[in-house]
């Protein structure tokens, strides 16, 4: 069980080198200890609440909020890339 959000995590092991890793390895959430706070931090920062106030409301440090902001910027950038890939390039525009 993962301590930060009480989810069971599948663990894997390499038969060649013996290293162990989980499904979270290589994701943006890797090594986050307060994953439960992610949605609320996004909601509050999106509502133009200051980072200090977000920390006070959620009882987390300013530094944690700053790290969550960087996390959400990367996450949103990846989502935007996916959305843009779904559309084809516009080669001409016609005005009426």
16-28 per-position pLDDT tens digit: 999 988 877 877 8
In tens, the pLDDT along 76-95 reads 999 999 998 888 888 888 99
Tell me the C-alpha distance between 52 and 65, whole Å: 8
Cα–Cα–Cα angle for 5, 6, 10, rounded to 5 degrees? 105
Q: What is the mean pLDDT of residues 23-36?
A: 79
Distances (CA, A) of 83 to 26, 34, 57, 89: 21, 28, 32, 12
Mean pLDDT score of the chain: 88
């Amino acid at each position: 069980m993962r301590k930060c959000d009480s989810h069971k995590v599948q663990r894997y092991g390499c038969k060649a080198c013996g290293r162990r890793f989980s499904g979270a390895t290589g994701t943006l959430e890797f090594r986050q200890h307060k994953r439960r706070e992610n949605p609320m931090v996004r909601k509050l920062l999106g509502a133009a609440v200051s980072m200090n106030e977000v920390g006070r409301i959620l009882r987390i440090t300013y530094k944690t909020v700053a790290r969550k902001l960087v996390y959400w910027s990367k996450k949103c950038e990846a989502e935007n890339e996916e959305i843009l890939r779904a559309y084809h390039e516009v080669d001409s525009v016609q005005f009426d």
